[in-house]
Amino acid sequence: MENCLFCKIAAKQIPSSIVHEDDDLLVFKDINPAAPVHLLIIPKVHVSTLSDCTPEHAPLLGKMMSLVPKLAADHNIAVTYDEQGQPSRGFKFLINSGPDGGQEVYHLHMHLYGGPRPWRGMRT
């Protein structure tokens, strides 16, 4: 997709801070992080928004989401439990879609936020 920022990042035409790459996905650090850990998970193929996904995208979407536990563990934001079973740490996982959803870059991406709060622009 011409003139798509994240297609250019996926093609390495624009540099990014890559933390994971495989045949289908790229994960890189958000350039303007809203939290101590702020990663973007993108498919290498161009899909504009979540509204453009169909059941055919289920394997791709599943691959993106099922990468989150490993990314969270690698960045020390995974949910952990103490001896009483109380959870600590954790993360937020978000897909902005369309203008009302606050989407700025029209190449599907999943945000992964974590680390000590406060986080910019997020109360919960």
Catalytic residues: 109
Can you list the positions of beta strands (E) in the chain? 18-21, 25-29, 37-43, 80-81, 87-88, 91-94, 110-114
Part in contact with Zn ion (CB under 5 A); list of ranges 44-52, 82-90, 93-101, 108-116: 44-52
User: Tokens standing for 122?
Assistant: 């997020």
Footprint (CB under 6 A) of ligand AMP, residues 75-114: 96, 102-105
Which of 36, 38, 31 lies closest to 115 in space, CA to CA? 36
Residue 87: strand, helix, or coil: strand
Judged by CB, which is closer to ligand AMP: 98, or 116? 98
Part in contact with ligand AMP (CB under 6 A); list of ranges 27-35, 47-55, 77-85, 113-121: 27-35
Chain residues in the site for ligand AMP (CB under 6 A): 5, 16, 28, 30-32, 40, 96, 102-105
